[in-house]
A and B are shown apart, each in its own frame.
Chain A
Amino acid sequence: MNRPDHIAATGPGRLYRGQTAVDFYGHRRIGLVVAIIVVVVTITSLFVQGLNLGLDFEGGQAWDVPASEAFGVDEAEDVLRDNDVPVAGSKIQLREAESLSFVAVQIEVVPTDQAQQITDGFAAAAGVDVEEISFAFTSSSWGDDITQKAVRALVIFLIVVAIFISIRFEWRMAIAALAAMAHDVLLAVGVYTVFQFEVTPATVIAFLTILGYSLYDTIVVFDRVQENEGKYASVRMPYADVVNISMNQVLMRSINTSISSILPVISLLLIGSGLLGAIALQEFALALLVGMLAGVYSSIFVASPLLATLRSNTGRKSRRERLTGEDLRTAVVGAGVSGRISTDVNEADAEDGSDRIDVDKTAAVHQPAERILTHPPRPRKKKRR
C-alpha cells in the first residue's frame, strides 16, 4: 500500500498515533455472531444447569473453618454427621490460598443451639479456638429480599439511564448502549452459569460494576460519534462513516482505559485471591475481568455498529460507497482537529478564527493532516485583562 510519509509504517505505530483505519462497521457481522453465541450459550446454560446460588440467596448457615492436615472435607462431614445434619444437602469445599486455607461448610437452616454445637464440633475437630471460625447465617427470605430490591433498583436505573442518554444524546444511542450493556451482563452471567461459580452478593456487585462500566465506555465512544456527526454535518457524510471514523479515533483511548482499569483488577485477582480465600475473590475478579473486556469490546463491536444500523435506515441517503482503507485513514487523521469541517471560511470555527481549517468541502476527508492545516496556527493574541 502506498501510504503518505506521515503515516506510521507499523501497525502499533499507527495505533499509537491514532492512524488506524479499521472498518468496524463493515465487520459488524462479527459482533452480531459473537453476540448471538453469547446469548444462546448463556440462556441454554441457564435453562440446563441454572446458577449456583450461594448462601445469601438460599438461606442457611455457613462456616469457614481453618483447614489443616488434621482437618479437611472428610472431617467436616464427620462433624455434620455427629450433629444429625444430612451431609447430602450440604456444600463442603476446601478453599486453598497461600496463607489461609479454609474448609467452607454450608448447610440448610438449623436452630441456633444446634448451630452452636456444630461450631464447637468444628473447633474441636480442627483444634482451633471458636473465634477463629467464621460463621454466617442468612434467613431464606433475605436472599429474595436482596434480589428483589436489586432487580427493582436495576429496572429504575435502566429507565433513568435511557432517559438520560436520550436527552443528552438521542434515543437510538440509548437503545444501542443498553443493548451493549445487556450483552456484557449476559456474557458475565454466562461465565457464572457455564462454570458454575457460586453467586454471592459480591457477584451481584461484580455484575453491577460491569453494567456501569459498559455504559460508561459506550458513552465515551458515543460522545465522539456525536461530536463528529456535528463536524461532518455540512459534508453529508454517511453515518456509518462517521461511526467508523469515531471508532478509530477513540481506539487508543479505549485500549489505554482498559489497561488502566484491568491492571487493578488483575492485581486484585492475583494478590487478593491469594490471601482472601474466604470470599472467593478470585471468581469475583474473574467476573470483573471478563465483564470489563466485554465492556470495551461491546462498545466498539456491538453498540456502534448497532447505532450505525439504526441510523442508516432513517437517515440521509449516502451518495457514495463507504470509506475504507486509506481513504478512511485519511479521514480519521484529518478529523482529529476540533472545529467544524466546512467550506465556509467565515463560519468555520467562528469563535476561534486563528485556527480555522482551510479546506475544500468534499475534499476535507481526503486531505492528509499537513494539508488540512497548511500553516501552523497563529498563537492567540495576548489580551491583557
Chain B
Amino acid sequence: MKRRLWMSFLATTVAVIAIFTANLATGTTPLLGLDLQGGASVILEPAEDASGEDLTVIRDLIRDELERSGIAEPNVRVQGDTIVVELPGVKDQQAALEAVDVSGIVELRPVVESSECSSGFAPETPLDGVSVDPVSVPDDTVGRRSLRTPSEPTPVLDLPLLPDESGLPPTSGAELLPTRDGQVLCVGPAQGTGEVFERQSAVVDNSLGFQVNVELNGGTGPDGRTGTETWNTLATQCFNGTPTCPRTIPGSNGQLAIVLDDVIQSAPSVNQPVFDGAVSITGSFTQSEAEDLANILNRGAFPVEMVAQEAQTISPAAGQESLRASVIAGFIGLVLVLIFLLAYYRWIALVILGGLTIWAMTVFSVAAFVSSATNYSLSLAGVTGIIVAIGVTVDSYVVFFERMKDEIRNGRTLKNAAPRSFKMTWRTIWSADLVSVIGAAILFSLSVGSVRGFALFLGITTLCDLFVCYFFTRPAVLLLARSKFMAGRKAFGLEVAS
C-alpha cells in the first residue's frame, strides 16, 4: 500500500515536472489569443450550410491569400462552423482587415442579350477581346480591353455585408453587372462556380503576351460532376451559341463571364467546345491584370460564400496590458488563497502548495498541447476561466481537509482519518467536478466565440483538478499522515492524537 502511494506520488510529480520543463525548454507555450497580444481578428461564417471539408478548403485559401499579401504567420482556423482569422501583432490593421475580406465566391455566368435584363441599356458592342482557348492553341485573339491603372482598388466587398438591395435579379436570373473597366454587361444566372478550376493552379504565362493558364478540377464537386464536366457543358453551349449562352456579338462565340462579388472580372468568348483538363485565358492583359485574374481564379475555389460576422483589432499596447494584468491578478489571487489556507490548515496546507503547483504545471502543459494541436488560443476569456477555476480547485482540498478535521475531532488518529476521509471526499469531488466537465463539454461543442474558449479552459482545469487530486493529493496526504513528521504537530489547529 505504502509503496503504491509512493509510486503514484513520485511518478506524478516527476512526470508533470518533466513535461513542464520539456515544454519550457522547447518553447511550447499556450498560443495567446489576440486580445492578449494585440492584432486583428475576423470571424467569418458561411452564408449557407457548409461541410467541414468546405471550411477546410476556405481556411487554406484565406491563409494563402494572407501570406501572399505579406502578412506573416496568419492564424486561420476552423472553429465549429465558423472560420476565425487572427493576425497577431499586425501593424496596419485596416490593411489586414481588407486582406482578410476574401468573402466572395467566383461564379461563371454566360453573357446574354441585354434585352433579358429589364433596363436593357447594356452596350451591344463587344467589351473584351478576351477569349478562352485550350493551353496548346496559340493566342490568336487580340483584345481591345481598355487599360486599367494597377493602383485601382480591387473591388472587394465592404466589410459590413449589407444585403444588396439594389440589383435584385429579375425572374430570368439575368442581371446587369459592371465590369472592372466600368462598363456594364447583362449576364444570365450562374452556371458554375470557381470550383471548376483546380485550386491554386492558375498561373500567369507571359511567353506570348500575358495570359492566364488554369487547370480544370478533376475531382467531383457537390453536384456530383467533375469540374471539367461542368466547364465543358458550359463551354459547348457558349461555343454553339445556345439560348443559355447566346452569341451576343456578331462573329464571335458566346461569352462566359467570370464574376466575383457581382463584378465581372473578365468575359472571354469561348473558342472551343471541349477542353481537355486545362484552360488558357488570353487577351491584351497587362501583367498586373493577368496576375489579378489568376489570383481571383485561385481564390475562386471558395465552395461557399463567407460573411464576416465579427472583426476586431486590438492595439498591441492594450493586448499586452491585458495579459500583464490577468497574469498579475491570477498570481496575486493564488498567493492570497495560499496564505489564507496556510494560516487555516497549517502544516497540511503544504500539500495544497504542492498540489496547486503541480496543477498549474499540468494546466500549462495541457493548454500548450491543446493550443498547438487544435489551434485554440488562450484568450482573455480562457484566462478568467482559469482564475475562476482556482476556487473550484482549492475546494477539493477544503472538502477533503474539513472531512479529516471532523474525523480527527472525533478521536481518530491522523493516519486513520486520512484514507477514510479521502474515500468519502473523492465521491463528492468527482460528482461536483463532473457537472463542471459536462457543462464545459456542452458549451464547447455548441457555442461560438469567446464562450468556447472559456469552456475549453474550464474543462481543462477541472480535469487537471481531478487528475491532481487522485494522483498527487491523495498519496501526498496519506503519506504525510503516516509520516513521523506530522506526529505531534498541529495539522488543523487541533491537537492530533498520535
Contacts and interface: CB of A to CB of B under 8 A. Distances in A.
A275 B332 CA distance: 14
B410 A223 contact: no
By CB atoms of chain B within 10 A, which of A18, A141, A161, A257 has the most? Answer: A257
A252 B442 CA distance: 32
Given A253-B399, A256-B402, A271 B329 contact: yes
A268 B428 CA distance: 28
A215 B432 CA distance: 8
Contacts of A208: 439, 443, 451, 454-455
B18 interface: no
B309 interface: yes
Interface string A191-202: 000000000011
Contacts, number: 296
B72 to A, nearest CB: 16
Contacts of B242: none
Contacts of B310: 56, 136-139, 142
A157 B311 contact: no
Nearest to B436: A212
Interface in A225-256: 227, 249-250, 252-253, 256
A260 B398 contact: yes
Contacts of A100: 317-318, 321
Contacts of A279: 35, 322, 380
Contacts of B85: none
B451 A131 contact: no
Given A152-B446, A227-B424, A379 B91 contact: no
B391 A257 contact: yes
B308 A338 contact: no
Nearest to A133: B315
B39 to A, nearest CB: 10
A132 B1 CA distance: 61
B209 interface: no
B402 A338 contact: no
Nearest to B161: A139
Nearest to A260: B394
Interface string B272-305: 0000000000000000000000000000000000
Interface residues of B, number: 95
Contacts of A113: 158
B324 A275 contact: yes
Contacts of B384: 202, 205, 268, 284
A382 to B, nearest CB: 11
Contacts of B439: 157, 161, 208, 211-212, 215
Contacts of B385: 205, 209
Interface stretch (B118-126, B141-149, B262-270, B335-343): B335-343
Interface string B219-259: 00000000000000000000000000000000000000000
B407 interface: yes
A346 interface: no
Interface residues of A, number: 98
B387 A264 contact: yes
A292 B395 CA distance: 13
Interface string A252-281: 110011011111111110011011101101
Interface string B167-184: 000000000000000000
With a 10 A CB-CB cut-off, give which of B316, B326, B385, B402 has the most chain A CB atoms.
B402
Contacts of A223: 427-428, 431-432
Interface stretch (A67-75, A307-315, A368-376): A368-376
A208 B337 CA distance: 23
Interface in B411-463: 411-413, 415-416, 420-421, 424, 427-428, 431-436, 438-439, 442-443, 445-451, 454-455, 458
Contacts of B312: 134-137
Nearest to B80: A149
Contacts of B399: 220, 253, 257
B321 A150 contact: no
A149 B447 CA distance: 5
A316 interface: no
A142 B301 CA distance: 25
Interface of chain A, main secondary structure: helix
Nearest to B454: A205
B203 to A, nearest CB: 31
B337 A263 contact: yes
A167 to B, nearest CB: 10
B324 A377 contact: no
Contacts of A267: 329-330, 332-333, 336, 387
A139 B424 contact: no
Contacts of A204: 451
A49 interface: no
A372 B407 CA distance: 12
B370 interface: no
Contacts of B420: 338, 352
A115 B395 CA distance: 48
B436 A216 contact: yes
Interface in B38-80: 43, 45
A356 B332 CA distance: 45
Interface stretch (B92-100, B189-197, B357-365): B92-100
Given A157-B443, A205-B381, A278-B318, A216 B158 contact: no
A381 interface: no
A77 interface: no
Given A145-B45, A267-B333, 6 more contacts: A131-B91, A257-B398, A267-B332, A271-B332, A276-B322, A279-B35
Ordered nearest first, which 8 A-B pairs have the shortest CB separation?
A: A261-B391, A264-B333, A275-B325, A153-B446, A336-B406, A267-B333, A112-B159, A137-B311
Interface of B: 1, 35, 43, 45, 91-94, 97-98, 101, 158-162, 307-318, 321-322, 324-326, 328-330, 332-334, 336-337, 340-341, 344, 380-381, 384-385, 387-388, 390-392, 394-395, 398-399, 402, 405-407, 409-413, 415-416, 420-421, 424, 427-428, 431-436, 438-439, 442-443, 445-451, 454-455, 458, 493, 497
Interface of A: 16-18, 56, 61, 64, 99-100, 109-113, 115-116, 119, 130-139, 141-142, 145-146, 149-150, 152-153, 156-157, 160-161, 164-165, 168, 201-202, 204-205, 208-209, 211-213, 215-216, 219-220, 223-224, 227, 249-250, 252-253, 256-257, 259-268, 271-272, 274-276, 278-279, 281, 284, 288, 292, 333, 336-338, 352, 355, 369, 372-373, 376-377, 379-380, 385
